[in-house]
Amino acid sequence: MIIHVNFLPKPGDTGASEVIASLAGLLDQGRLDGEVLSRLRLHLDWLQYKANFREPITVRHATGARGEPTALAELAIDVRRARPERLGDELAHAIASVGAVEHEVAGRAVLEDWAPLSRSAIWQFNRLFWQRLVDWERQTGRGFEAALPSGRSDANHPAAVADAVADFWTLLVELDKRGQLPQEIFALEIGVGPGTRAGLWLDRFKALDEARATGFYPRLRFLLADYSMPTLDRAHRAVEAHRDVVSTIATDALNPMRALSFLRYKILYVHLTNVYDNLPVDELVRRDGQLYLVETRAYLPEPASTAIAQAFGVGPSEQPATVGRLLEAGPDLFGDRERGVAFWRAVWDGVCLEERLRRLEGIADVPLPPGLDGTDLEELLTTAPADIRFHLSGGAVESFMNTVPLLHPRGYLQVQDIFVATMDEYRQGFRGPGKLDGSVVNWVNGPLLRVVGARAGYDVHFAPFRYRPGSRTTILYTTLRE
Amino acid sequence: MAGQHLTTAVVGSYSMPGWLERAKNDYLRRRITAHDLDEMHDTAVKAAIKDQEVAGIDIVSDGELRRDNMIDYFAMRLPGVEIDRTSKTSYYDFYESVVRGRMPMAPLGLVEHYRFLRRFTDHRTKVSVTGPHSLVKRIRNEHYPSEEAFAMEIARIMNLELRELVRAGAEQIQIDEPYYSGFPEDLPWGVRAVNALVENVDARLSLHVCYGNRYGKPSWEGSYRYLFPAILEARIDQVTLEFARRGSEDLRLFKEFDAPFTLGLGVIDVKTHDVETPAVVAERIREALAILPTERLSVNPDCGLLHLPREIAFAKLCAMVEGTQLVRREISG
Ligand SMILES: C[S@@+](CC[C@H](N)C(=O)[O-])C[C@H]1O[C@@H](n2cnc3c(N)ncnc32)[C@H](O)[C@@H]1O
């Protein structure tokens, strides 16, 4: 057995001793096959997102490239939530499923078929959340920001906004000096949320411009972009004072070029906060020199499924279809929107992801997002830990690749988000997916964006967000690669 | 015959195959030998020539597929330039290069690659070289008192090579100076350097000035107005400019100024994968014909096709030729 401790434990809280003791106990009692144990990989995690898609103890099977069962199996334990007194039985229960072909756990309502994580229904839930934010918030009685770990968004930190404005203004002055400042000065924020940052940024920019008498503000064209109409409406109201220089654009962050191609090479500044972490992602795993793609399927564990059946009169066997309707048509279920939203929230609260590892025969089988070259991924892997599970941040890569063509030759992209800075960091903790209110949150693979950026002609840098102590935010910014 | 006008040509580079990129990187990382890479270069060049011929291009190039980028191919050949071979692991990056003393005269060895091109095509051919202004922007100068002095020295050395090319049969030589657009204030000496470069070079000479194509994107924005009137002093036969991506507004500069050279009109946007239709190409040519007579106009893409996938590069060249033929037919009535 190989034990992976996937977090930086503080003294006394690995939880490892209880787990090992329980396993040894099972072995002694003849409830654990020595064969199984010898091939097992035990993962001890400490899940950062309290709300997530995992049960405290989970088993992952690995399959060959054609789906055939293989000997590799992983037992993953969230030591933050696993309860020592029940560990023995729960481990025995989980281990009983190791090696079983097509094992179905009784009582679960399975909501979808196996597919790579990026195609899971959880992304439909995520989209639904942003499209129907108003309904959700009416019922919860609180705004999205209240769900953030710090209770507010780093997007709106006044000092960070002031610095961002100052950098931008300096660029404009330099371009102006060289006679290269375009008549119309385009700036773009994608994934604007309530528009708070945009408002702060515009106030600040206007004030600076007026104080220095540079005359840039009237030439500014600030675009607010989001794929959620209610969000755009709300954000537009938040920047009412700047209406002469602001427009809103409905656009998917995955491909801003589609709506904005007329601005190719024209935008001087593009900003996103906490959007990359909200875009679909895949995960790759390397074990014993073999590469695997994580496949998942969403399910409701028995307690959640039973509770939903009782509360909404939708039995476990009908749950997949009802959830399908919810994801397709929104929460106007049961002829009663409030009840529909309650159902939505209950399902989201309970939903988990079952995982399996599908072996890939080589790099060419990796579902590479456009812009990521297989040889670059191979290169990244040569410097990465031999045993690793990491994000293939396909959504972020796609968004990046479809955003940079909008940049003016001297323009830059700035992204505030939770980035993993080196492949090595993947040893040190669970990086999502987690649930944040009704949305999905995930760390973003920084090294991947670095190689993708280099191919597109940008050096990608990461600076710590030094404005709030303890913040996990990092600021990605691009500079031109000469 | 009207067909003699509106000659079609490439600017220089052709689509770089992914496998060749990988091979170039493998070579840098000592995974394959120079011999293997040379063989792949030869094969890729032959394929690039064939594509241009089949598309119907009048003046073809070797696709510049042997070059890592527009600087290193020359920096590595210029005598007296020291190259730090450890300074890059990706072929498209620039080497760290420096000149620390007076540069000696010596051949660059471009003739051999020209002969290869000549042997594999019956079409007219073009050889492109990066101009002195662009080279001094990337090679560190620790010897000459000014950028201009450095550029004049490079011009003097490369002048010999251009004459060698002519002796070997080269009829069309193009000088690429994309960095003009980033440093318009350098133009007066930039043009002097070009004139030194082409002195007594008995070929048809063109000067290509664009807004950059590094990584397939522009490096600068602005108007070609900065070129005038300084460019009028250049002793060249043609300037090759980009108009497809940037629009035709700057064409009027040729109305305002009585240029002593002809125009190589960029009619293909090399920075988008959208393939122009022949009708669009024809319209772009007609717009230029409203300002310049046919005999002062030839047709080319905005810039090199390096960053486009092969099938798109090829389709764009085909569209360019068909669009040109549409206009030729209109002219010949
Ligand atoms: C987590 S919120 C961040 C809001 C704000 N930037 C902040 O940091 O406070 C994510 C925002 O991105 C938007 N969003 C998520 N996915 C998107 C996509 N694919 N296309 C466009 N907008 C998206 C959501 O509607 C929402 O406004």
Q: Where are the domains of chain B?
A: 18-332
Which token pair is A11?
């003294």
CA of B213: which chain A residue's CA is closest?
A457
- Residue A102 pLDDT: 57
B211–chain A nearest CA distance, Å: 10
Contact assessment for residue B128 and residue B65, using Cβ atoms and an 8 Å cutoff: no
* Closest-lying ligand 1 atom to the alpha carbon of residue A154: 8
Three-state SS string over chain A comes to: CEEEECCCCCCCCCCHHHHHHHHHHHHHCCCCCHHHHHHEEEEEECCCCCCECCCCEEEEEEECCCCCEEEEEEEEEECCCCCHHHHHHHHHHHHHCCCCCCCCCCCCEECCCCEEHHHCCHHHHHHHHHHCHHHHHHHHCCCHHHHCCCCCCHHHCHHHHHHHHHHHHHHHHHHHHCCCCCCCEEEEEECCCCCHHHHHHHHHHHHHHHHHCCCCHHHEEEEEEECCHHHHHHHHHHCHHHHHHEEEEECCCCCHHHHHHHHCCCEEEEEEECCHHHCCCEEEEEECCEEEEEEEEEEECHHHHHHHHHHHCCCCCCHHHHHHHHHHHCCCCCCCHHHHHHHHHHHHHHCEEEEEEEEECCHHHCCCCCCCCHHHHHHHHHHCCCCEEEEECHHHHHHHHHHHHHEEEEEEEEEEECEECCHHHHHHCCCCCEEECCEEECCEEHHHHHHHHHHHCEEEEEEECCCCCCCCCEEEEEEECC
- Residue A455 pLDDT: 93
Fold of B18-332: TIM Barrel (3.20.20)
pLDDT, one tens digit per residue, over B78-91 is 999 999 999 998 99
Interface contacts (A, B; CB < 8 Å) = 37
**Residue A329 alpha carbon to ligand 1 centre in Å:** 21
CA of A455: which chain B residue's CA is closest?
B215
B221–chain A nearest CA distance, Å: 7
Flag if B215 and A405 touch (Cβ within 8 Å). Answer: no
Flag if A457 and B215 touch (Cβ within 8 Å). Answer: yes
- Is the N-terminal amide bond of A433 cis, ω within 30° of 0? yes
Place of tokens 């507010």: A152
- Residue B3 pLDDT: 45
Interface of A with B (CB under 8 A): 179-180, 182, 264-265, 373, 375, 404-405, 408-410, 454-457, 480-482
CA of A180: which chain B residue's CA is closest?
B222
Flag if B25 and A405 touch (Cβ within 8 Å). Answer: no
Q: Which of residues 271-300 of B touch A (CB under 8 A)?
A: 272
- Residue A428 pLDDT: 87
The protein residue with its alpha carbon nearest to ligand 1, atom 27, reads A193
Task: Using a pLDDT cut of 90, give the percent of chain B over it.
Answer: 97
Q: Is A230 exposed, middle or buried (0-12, 13-18, 19+ CB in 10 A)?
A: middle
Which residues of chain A make contact with B22, given a CB cutoff of 8 A? 375
Flag if A182 and B221 touch (Cβ within 8 Å). Answer: yes
pLDDT, one tens digit per residue, over B178-221 is 999 999 999 999 999 999 999 999 999 999 999 999 999 999 98
Pick A265's closest partner by Cβ from B22, B214, B221: B221
pLDDT, one tens digit per residue, over B269-322 is 999 999 999 999 999 999 999 999 999 999 999 999 999 999 999 999 999 999
B25 touches chain A (CB under 8 A): yes
Contact assessment for residue A279 and residue A328, using Cβ atoms and an 8 Å cutoff: no
Which residues of chain B make contact with A172, given a CB cutoff of 8 A? none
Pick B221's closest partner by Cβ from A180, A454, A455: A180
Which of helix, strand or coil describes residue B48?
A: helix
- Residue B2 pLDDT: 38
Flag if A409 and B219 touch (Cβ within 8 Å). Answer: yes
Alpha-carbon distances of A342 from A308, A311, A345, A436, B261, rounded to whole Å: 10, 10, 5, 17, 75
Contact assessment for residue B114 and residue B162, using Cβ atoms and an 8 Å cutoff: no
- Residue A99 pLDDT: 66
CA of A261: which chain B residue's CA is closest?
B272
Residue-by-residue pLDDT tens, chain A, 482 positions? 899 989 888 887 777 888 888 888 888 998 888 888 888 899 999 998 889 999 999 999 999 998 888 888 899 999 888 888 888 888 888 888 776 655 677 789 999 999 999 999 999 999 999 999 999 999 998 887 777 777 788 889 999 999 999 999 999 999 999 889 999 999 999 999 999 999 999 999 999 999 999 999 999 999 999 999 999 999 999 999 999 999 999 999 999 999 999 999 999 999 999 999 999 999 999 999 999 999 999 999 999 999 999 999 999 999 999 999 999 999 999 989 999 999 999 999 999 999 999 999 999 999 999 999 999 999 999 999 999 999 999 999 999 999 999 999 999 999 999 999 999 999 888 898 999 999 999 999 999 999 999 999 999 999 999 999 989 999 999 999 98
A325: number of Cβ within 10 Å: 14
